[in-house]
Structure 1
């Protein structure tokens, strides 16, 4: 396990600068909004959208898209096995998403102080969440975002040109197929999918339960990581 931890620390070093730049930008935006707000007649700017968390989700998805090829080639050349790389990558991603969830919860209070009417993504969906619930919720959501990006990039890495085209058009084809099937079923499929997501995210009761969302996001991440392992375990080293 020592080698996995050592490899994970190496991988973490590559995340440091992008994360620092990301949060410098987000804090600068908050300060700019705060200055703009104080300069208006009302003293407030209408910024209730949860820009911080959504920006983090997009950022981590992009990070996931770039979290495989170069590191994989370098570590394979340095006698790190695929299994150890797989474990190290998971440790790295969990460390990054956990740290960023704590930072975002902390920054949400900073945003509230600067902007005034800022409301986080979790609070918009579930109402006022506790600090622990917020951290766990964002931790699970951010983990899913980075894992989705990772799985996509590994699928493309293993695919030839024809398969890349098929992989690219499959989501679009499935989307239109679902629309067609839904119209043929008088919206029964859409309603069933909607009920599933409402239940899976803990929104089916009068008092929303964020921990249901946490469980759902982590289960989805585990499922995708298993797919990732199957695809990656025999991945060739490409130039």
Structure 2
């Protein structure tokens, strides 16, 4: 079984959960459409969370299956990349389509509309907003979501692989490290406000927020995806199958 066959198997095994997710997703949209005075925005954020959770649950069973079938680890890694790309692209297109349908009945801007489009920065003017359906906007939204989704999956995958490889003590330290980092950084910013300006400007530049250039953000997300998958590959080469 080569990487393409394994990727095909992974996609087929993921379809059920994706279908269930979109059934719930569409039901929520339908309820919202039929509820007076209720509007939602950034609904594709739920897809990002879904793919993040999918990444968290993707490794162990999938890895055991590949090792039981004597699939080379390099082929297994390739299958992970091949699996997420069409899933993320397909979900990006579906989310944009559902969003456009929703906006026929109400106001529901995407994250792209709010960050890089012409959605009013002040919600007082949101009711008068008309969603841009130009080819440039549609393509830009799909590319932005695609990059966003593959990054979410990669982060979830890396986290679960790190936890799989570490002992209980290391798992606790890793779990607590974001809290400690946030507390330390918050203290530094509070006492030395000037230190917060450069990181803020750097983040603004690599995400293209001020210039409203979503392609810069997409490139950044794809670059981060590649870096994370490099770490994933390193772990795959060294991780061992644990006995139950």
Compute the TM-score of the two structures, normalised by the length of structure 1.
0.90
Measured in 1, the distance between the counterparts of 2:195 and 2:95 equals 36
2:57 to 57, 66, 69: 66
Q: Give, in angstroms, the shift of residue 217 of structure 1.
A: 0.5
Aligned equivalent of 1:177: 184
Count of aligned residue pairs for this structure pair: 226
Q: Give, in angstroms, the shift of residue 180 of structure 1.
A: 2.1
Aligned equivalent of 1:109: 100
Instruction: Please give the per-residue CA displacement for 1:139-189, whole angstroms capped at 9, x wherever unaligned.
Output: 0001111110000000001001111111111111111121222233x2122
Measured in 1, the distance between the counterparts of 2:159 and 2:147 equals 18
State the 4+ residue runs in structure 1 displaced beyond 6 angstroms: none
Tell me how large the CA RMSD over aligned residues is: 1.4
Aligned equivalent of 2:172: 165
1:197 aligns with 2:203: yes
Instruction: Please give the per-residue CA displacement for 1:24-54, whole angstroms capped at 9, x wherever unaligned.
Output: 11111111122223xxxxxxx231422x211
2:239 to 221, 232, 235: 235
1:46 to 27, 38, 41: 38
CA contact (8 A) 2:140 2:214 kept: yes
Aligned equivalent of 2:215: 211
Instruction: Please give the per-residue CA displacement for 1:76-126, whole angstroms capped at 9, x wherever unaligned.
Output: 000111111111011101111111011111111011123x11111110111
CA contact (8 A) 1:46 1:117 kept: no
Measured in 1, the distance between the counterparts of 2:34 and 2:40 equals 16
1:95 to 72, 86, 99: 86
2:148 to 141, 148, 152: 141
CA contact (8 A) 2:32 2:38 kept: no
Counterpart of 2:71 in 1: which secondary structure?
Answer: coil
Counterpart of 2:5 in 1: which secondary structure?
Answer: helix
Structure 1 unaligned residues grouped into runs of 5+: 38-44
Compute the TM-score of the two structures, normalised by the length of structure 2.
0.89
Aligned equivalent of 1:27: 26
Structure 2 unaligned residues grouped into runs of 5+: 118-131
